Amino acid sequence: MAAKKVRLAAIAHARSGDKGDGSNVGLIADRAEFYPILLEEVTEERVKEHFRGFVHGRVERFEVANLKALNFLLHDSLGGGGTESLKIDAQGKTHGQGLLQMEVQIPEELLGLVRDRR
């Protein structure tokens, strides 16, 4: 089956925030047809690799099928807790948008369902 590479931004949306010493990213498939792609492609290992520049702890993934979503906990990703951090993004507000930059393989027959390819 032919597949094509797209950014996650083409098939999913996301939100992130701080969670203790790290951040969380909720990643939601735009359509039910795309949820299996998230399950298959967006693994703990790949997210850790994608965010290797600033996630110093482990990455945990939880499935939230009723919302066609995945929840990721990025441990030790803020350079210290909320107020001690000297980073410009001390709350991990940008981590969700950052995950949407990841590239994934999507079957060609699903390309027609992509609503925005920016």
Partner 1 sequence: MKTIRIGNGQGFWGDNVDAPIRLLRGGDIDYIGMDYLAEVTLSIMMRQKLKDPAKGYATDFVDFIRTVLPELRERGVRVLSNAGGLNPHACREQIFEAAREHGISGLRVGVVEGDDLLHRLPELIDSGHELRNMETDEPLTPRVDKVSSANAYLGASPVVEALEQGAHIVLCGRVTDTALALAPMIYEFGWDRARWDLMAAGTIAGHILECGPQCTGGNFTRFWEVPDLWNVGYPVVEAREDGTFTVTKHAGTGGLVTVDTVAEQLLYEMGKPDEYITPDVVADFSSIQLTDAGQDRVDVAGIRGGENTPFLKVSASYLAGFKASGTLTITGPRAVEKAELCADIVWKRLERAGVVFGEEHRETEVIGTGACLPGVETSSCPVDDPAEVVLRLSVRDPEYRNVERFGKELAPLVTSGPPGVTGFAGGRPKPQRVVAYWPALIAREQVEDHVHVTVEEV
**Residues within the interface to partner 1 (CB under 8 A):** 7, 9, 13-15, 17-21, 24, 26, 28, 30, 50-54, 62, 64-67, 69, 71, 73, 79-84, 86-91, 93-98, 100-103, 116
Least separation in angstroms between residue 4's CB and partner 1 is 14
For partner 1, the closer of residues 31 and 107 by Cβ is 31
Our CB check for partner 1 shows the closer of 1 and 88 to be 88
Q: What angle do CA 10, 15, 17 make, to 5 degrees?
A: 150
Distance CA 111, CA 12 (A): 13
**Contact 42/104 with Cβ under 8 angstroms?**
yes
Cβ closest to partner 1, residue 2 vs residue 86 = 86
E strand or H helix at 36 = helix 35-41
